[in-house]
Chains A and B, each alone.
Chain A
């Protein structure tokens, strides 16, 4: 089974500062990887997904970016954070067959001040 390690758990950053959130996956090779954002009291918004190293698809145009430097590593970044970037960020993974469902990380609570 898959295990996702996501860190940090909480983060408070000033507006205009950079961001780097990291996610690593254990227990599977060549996973599909996803970054979701969950605003307070709202559902999940898919930000990025990746089907392989260096392959990133963006779902929502914004000041965030993602990278996949290794098979089981997925990074969410920003050069300059906005207040609207505050939220709960979740990394998720599936095997190459996504129909078996997602495994989620424990999330990062980002507050931009």
Chain B
């Protein structure tokens, strides 16, 4: 069955430091991959998506993600974190059909 794993429940980084959030998926073919961000008490906002082509994709708010087929991973990165990036981040996959499978989320804390 298709699945998405976000190994880190929460991560704390210092403002200005780099960030990498991990995501691994389970699917036999190349899936459609997404990262979403959720601020407290709000809905989710799409950060970026990967379908095919260049394995490094750029998104909004300075985020990028890299698809690595050999590792079944789609990690989210940002070179310099701002305090406003504190939120929960969800990796997601469409693996056949039109239903999206979400990971359990990683909560990002940013310290001054």
Contacts and interface: CB of A to CB of B under 8 A. Distances in A.
B104 to A, nearest CB: 4
A17 B36 CA distance: 33
Interface in A65-113: 88, 90, 92, 94, 97-107, 109
Interface of B is mostly: strand
A94 B98 contact: yes
B94 A98 contact: yes
Contact of A99 (B36, B43, B51, B102): B51
B5 to A, nearest CB: 11
Contacts of B34: 101-102
Nearest to B6: A43
A90 B43 contact: yes
Contact of A106 (B42, B46, B103): B42
Per DSSP, are chain A's interface residues mostly helix, strand or loop, or mixed? Answer: strand
B3 to A, nearest CB: 11
B53 interface: no
Contacts of B42: 106-107
A90 B44 contact: yes
Interface in B91-112: 94, 98-100, 102-105
Interface residue range, chain B: 20 to 34
Interface string B63-102: 0000000000000000000000000001000100011101
A64 to B, nearest CB: 18
A101 B90 CA distance: 13
B94 A99 contact: yes
Given A51-B98, A102-B36, A107-B43, 20 more contacts: A4-B43, A6-B43, A32-B98, A42-B104, A43-B102, A49-B98, A49-B99, A88-B41, A90-B43, A92-B44, A97-B98, A99-B32, A99-B51, A101-B46, A102-B44, A102-B46, A104-B43, A104-B45, A107-B41, A109-B41
